[in-house]
Amino acid sequence: MAVTKVELALARLRAFEPVRKTVLGRKEPLTEVLGKLMRLAATFAKALTVAGLGDELRRRADAFGQLIGEGSEFDNRRRAAHVRLNEAGKNFFLPDWSATRWWSQSPVAVLDQNGQPTEEFSHYSRPPNYLSKVVDRWDDCERTRWDMPGALKDVEAVLGLKWEARDKQVFEEWRRALWDVIVSSDSEHLFGSYLLAACQDAVAPGTSSVDDHESLLNRLADDPARFSRVMKDAAQDLLLSDGQPPSEMPSSPAPRNNWCHSKDEPVPVEFSLGPLAGTLLRLTGLICPFYDKEADPRALKRLGTVEAIWIQKVTGQCYKVFFPDKDRLLFSKVNAQDISEKKQKEAEKLQNETK
C-alpha cells in the first residue's frame, strides 16, 4: 500500500530529534531547531485534518484546555497552594541542592527545615531555600501547566515538611488535582494534542502573530526533549484513533507503561546519568531516601510516572534507572551509596569464604 501524506508527516515528526548540530564550527541555534519541530508538528496536524481526523485533534486539545484553564479545579488548587506556600513557607527551609555552592574558609551552621541553625557545620556555603523557587513556579500558571511532572515533584517535596494540618490539606488537594490532570491527559494524549494544535496555530498564515510564535518557541525551549516526545506519542495515537493501523509505518517502541519502559524504548537524551541496575526492591531502598520518600516500591513507581527518573525494565526482575542531567548532584550521592553497598557486600562475601 502507498504511504499517505499523514503517515509520511508522522514519520518525519517521529524522526526529529531536538539536537543542535554543529556545521562548519557553528552550532545550530536552538530557535532554528524548535522552529523545525513546530513546522513538522503543524504539517502533521494539517495532513491529519485533510485525512478527516482534525476534529479529534481539536477535541483533545480543547479537553486539555478545559482541564487546566482558568476556573478549573486544577487552577483553583494551584492558586490556593501558591498563596499558602507564599505565606506559611517563610517559616520553613528546604535546601536547593541544584544551586551552586561555594567553599567557605569558615564553617557555617547547617539549617534545619525551619531555617534554624543546627549543631552541624559545613565548609560549603548554605544552599538557597528551594521553597522560594517553588513559590515563583506555582505563581506562573503557564509554566505549571506545561510542566506538571515538575510541579508534582515540587509538591511532593513540599509535603515532606512538617506542616500544620490545614496547610498540609491545601498541598494535598493541589497534589490530587495535579495527579488527576496528568492521568486524564496521559490516557488520551491530551497535552501532546494541545501542543500539536498550538504549533499548527502558531505557523498558520493570516491567523498567527509574531508574539504568539515567539511565546511558543520560548515555552518549547524549557524542555525540548519532553515536548517533542509527547507530541510524537500524541500524533501516533491520533493516527490510530480511527481504529485502522497505519500502512508501512516505521517500527515504533513497545507501548509505554505508566512508570517503566521497555529496553527497546530509547532513553531520552536528558536522562544521561546512570544507569543503576538491580531488582525493584533494591533500587527502591537505594533511590527513594534521596528523594525524601519511604522505601516503598510504590514511591519509586511514582517517581517513574512523573519522570523524575527513567525506569527501564531489562528482564522479569531486573531494572535500570537513569537520572536527569539536572539532578547530577543527587545522582552522585545515590551512585556513591550504590558503590559503597556493593563493596560492603563483596567484603562480607570474602569474609565468609575465608572462615
Handedness of CA 24, 27, 30, 33 (dihedral sign): positive
pLDDT category at 1 given cuts 50, 70, 90 is very low
The C-alpha torsion from 216 through 220 and 222 to 225, rounded to 10°, is: 180
Residue 285 has pLDDT above 70, yes or no: yes
How many of the other CB atoms lie within 10 Å of CB of 114?
10
Domain positions in the chain are 5-69+186-239, 75-162, 261-354
Amino acid at 42: A
Least confident of 90-94, 170-174, 246-250: 246-250
pLDDT category at 294 given cuts 50, 70, 90 is confident
What b/e readout covers 30-68, taking b as 16+ CB neighbours within 10 angstroms?
A: eeebbbebbbbbbbbbbbbbebebbebbbebbeebeebb
Residue 352 has pLDDT above 80, yes or no: no
How many of the other CB atoms lie within 10 Å of CB of 180?
14
Q: Which residue has the higher pLDDT, 60 or 326?
A: 60
pLDDT score, position 102: 55
Angle 97-227-306 from CA coordinates, rounded to 5°: 50
pLDDT tens sequence across 171-214: 999 999 999 999 889 888 999 999 999 999 998 887 778 888 89
Measured distance CA(314)–CA(276) in Å, rounded: 12
Measured distance CA(78)–CA(148) in Å, rounded: 11
**Residue written as grid cell 509538591:** 155
Least confident of 87-91, 115-119, 251-255, 324-328: 251-255
For residue 233 the three cell numbers come to 506519542
pLDDT score, position 338: 86
Q: Which residues pair with 261 in a beta bridge?
A: 312
